[in-house]
Amino acid sequence: MPRRLFAAAPRLHRQRLLAAALGLAAACAWAQDAAPAAGAAASQPVRNSTLDAPLFYQLMIGELQLREGDPGAAYQVILDAARRSQDETLFRRAVEIALQARAGEEALSATRAWRAAVPTSQEALRTELQILSALNRLDQAADPLRALLLLAPASERSSLIAAVPRFLQRAADQAHGARLVEQVLTPYLEAPDTRVAAQVAIGRAWLAGGDPARALDLVRQAHAADPAAQGPVLLALELLPTRPEVEPIVVEYLARPQSEFGLRLLYARALTATQRYAEALRQMEIVTQQRPELAPPYLTLGALYLDLKQPVPGEKALRRYLELTAEQAPAPTPPADTAGDDEDVAAVPAQGRIQAWLMLASSAEQRGDYQAAEAWLALIDDPQRALEVQARRSTLLARQGRVDEARRLLQAVPERGPQDARSKLDAEASMLREVKRWQEAYEVTAQALQREPDDPELLYEQSMLADKLGRSDEMEQLLRRVIVLKPDNAHAYNALGYSLADRGERLPEARDLIARALELSPNDPFITDSLGWVEYRLGNRAEALRLLQRAYTSRPDAEIAAHLGEVLWAEGRQDEARRIWAEARARDAGNEVLAETLKRLKVTR
């Protein structure tokens, strides 16, 4: 619809006027005070409505114009009624009509008329700021922003300051928005009761505006001013993925006895996102100790334990999750040999319970208890997760040597759209990888690539399979294609750099590739491991040891343990190496890199 809404109102039929009048009282929420609450008429004096007959008729005309498909006429009529009555609900309605018609200029005009009629309306100011942001008119936003802050009671001003960046989040020029926020909030940096809120708000605006260094400086100032404040910690968590040097602020806050457990959950999520599972696990253990009655943390805790190859505590955490959520649905008979007599499992589960059952099935599968794994899968009756369930079943079959049957099971899953076809191929390739059928997995992924030849994820998967088949040149070609298509893909840089380092080829180039990956994904333990490995290959043992120890602390993975142990072995610290390898064997005895390392170094115990 064009910006200009104004048009002549069409002639309305009298019967439509009468029909609209029947529902008008509900539409005019501002007139609700005209009728006393039921049962209260005897105790309260009767208040006459300010809705007179001409205004009633005007509102009815406006709503009917809108119903007839003429928002321009409706806007004019309702805005005129708002000006006459100075009622905020009618101004709000005029703004809504303009916004629904995508007429930003008219919405802004109505909002400014609203401000003029009701100068103390915080809602009018908030609405004007949001519209100015959407129209990218930030040069006009300073005045309403200052007015909004001045209207706020002193007790609420800090909260409002913290929300300021959100008013401008739709602006196209976020750097301009950050300059505006800093300009308006600078006076509040002087007052002790608003200083921290202003520092955090300005920092968040600069983070959105593309200057994380400025945001980092401000969050440090805010935390130093009030170490117990939550605002700086929240901003630090937003910065953490790209500015790992902010992490001490989070750690220091969480060490306080009265720290907010919700922030610990966010920290655990940030650690998990960078695959620092061991550290995330420690945080989730604290959360479940602090709030043992909450179910969701146990689901995360169980997932972390299982990923770290600790099935016993992992299954215990997942069972606890199912116990805490059992009242949400009736309980069928639990799987034989996998659940206690008092355990509850839902027949028609929420998504969290389905996730728990899938993880329990996966854990049972890893233990070789295929009957228990199937029993957990049998509890899932959700058509939306049918492919996921069948994928797990296919892996169970494949692990028992029934690969052809497993493939037929997946291929028989109905397809509701093109994405389902892709998902089926992904599941089939994943199942084949699980049982080391590299060539067949390669062929299935190639089939998917015929449909989507420029899909970075498929190209990456194909590169890993090419590596398994000993086709290093093809792997490199595929990974370089991924980097061209998706230059911020840290895994592609890391995989290419690690493959070169592992073969002892072009080591300076390998280091540059891995360093770039670490820039894109700071603190990722697998990338840190790759960098440590290339430093070892370059002969820099001290630096290699430092990096590998850091990686292993964050993620005690068997492959990282293999590399760390080898560097310790080369340094003559053989007892430490044996200890690290023993820990890794206990968690993941079948790891190929670990087995190859021990065989090459002739370590038998």
Give the DSSP per-residue string, 74-100.
HHHHHHHHHHHHT-HHHHHHHHHHHHH
What does the DSSP 8-state code read for residue 37? P
Please report, in angstroms and rounded to a whole number, the separation of the first and last CA atoms in the chain. Answer: 76
Block residue for tokens 């070789």 = 368
Q: Which sign does the torsion angle of CA 102, 108, 109, 110 carry? A: positive
- Residues 369, 372, 374: CA angle, nearest 5 degrees: 110
Give me the mean pLDDT over the 406-424 stretch.
90
Question: How far apart are the C-alpha atoms of 14 and 60, rounded to whole Å?
Answer: 12
In the chain, % of residues over pLDDT 70? 87
Question: How far apart are the C-alpha atoms of 394 and 275, rounded to whole Å?
Answer: 27
Amino acid at 406: A
Q: Are 466 and 442 in contact (CB under 8 A)?
A: yes
- Residues 187, 188, 193: CA angle, nearest 5 degrees: 150
For the chain, give the mean pLDDT.
86
Question: Tell me, what's the pLDDT at 51?
Answer: 61
Is the pLDDT assigned to residue 470 strictly greater than 60? Answer: yes
Give me the mean pLDDT over the 536-559 stretch.
95
**95-126 tens-digit pLDDT:** 999 998 889 999 999 999 999 999 999 999 99
Amino acid at 480: R
Question: Tell me, what's the pLDDT at 171?
Answer: 82
The band of 450, judged by pLDDT with boundaries at 50, 70 and 90, is: very high
Is the pLDDT assigned to residue 194 strictly greater than 90? Answer: yes
The band of 327, judged by pLDDT with boundaries at 50, 70 and 90, is: low
What does the DSSP 8-state code read for residue 230? S
Higher pLDDT, 316 or 23: 316
- Residues 261, 266, 269: CA angle, nearest 5 degrees: 130
**77-100 tens-digit pLDDT:** 888 888 988 888 889 999 999 998
Question: How far apart are the C-alpha atoms of 279 and 476, rounded to whole Å?
Answer: 33
Question: Tell me, what's the pLDDT at 242?
Answer: 86
**474-531 tens-digit pLDDT:** 999 999 999 999 999 999 999 999 999 999 999 999 999 999 999 999 889 999 999 9
Q: Are 98 and 3 in contact (CB under 8 A)?
A: no
**128-169 tens-digit pLDDT:** 999 998 888 888 999 999 999 999 999 999 999 999 998 888
Question: Tell me, what's the pLDDT at 335?
Answer: 42
Tell me the two tokens of residue 605.
């115990």
Is the pLDDT assigned to residue 404 strictly greater than 90? Answer: yes
Give me the mean pLDDT over the 241-256 stretch.
93
Give me the mean pLDDT over the 217-242 stretch.
94
User: Smallest Cα–Cα separation from 236: which of 259, 262, 270, 211?
Assistant: 270
**417-431 tens-digit pLDDT:** 778 889 999 999 999
Question: Tell me, what's the pLDDT at 545?
Answer: 97
User: Smallest Cα–Cα separation from 51: which of 8, 89, 13, 9?
Assistant: 89
The band of 14, judged by pLDDT with boundaries at 50, 70 and 90, is: very low
Is the pLDDT assigned to residue 178 strictly greater than 90? Answer: yes
Q: Interhelix angle for 154-167 vs 122-134, to 10°?
A: 20
Phi, psi for 52 (deg, rounded to 5):
-90, 175
Question: How far apart are the C-alpha atoms of 568 and 579, rounded to whole Å?
Answer: 11
Question: How far apart are the C-alpha atoms of 41 and 37, rounded to whole Å?
Answer: 7
In the chain, % of residues over pLDDT 90? 68
What does the DSSP 8-state code read for residue 235? H
Question: How far apart are the C-alpha atoms of 429 and 437, rounded to whole Å?
Answer: 9
Tell me the two tokens of residue 167.
């008013």
| Residue 385 CB coordination number (10 Å) | 17
Question: Tell me, what's the pLDDT at 341?
Answer: 38
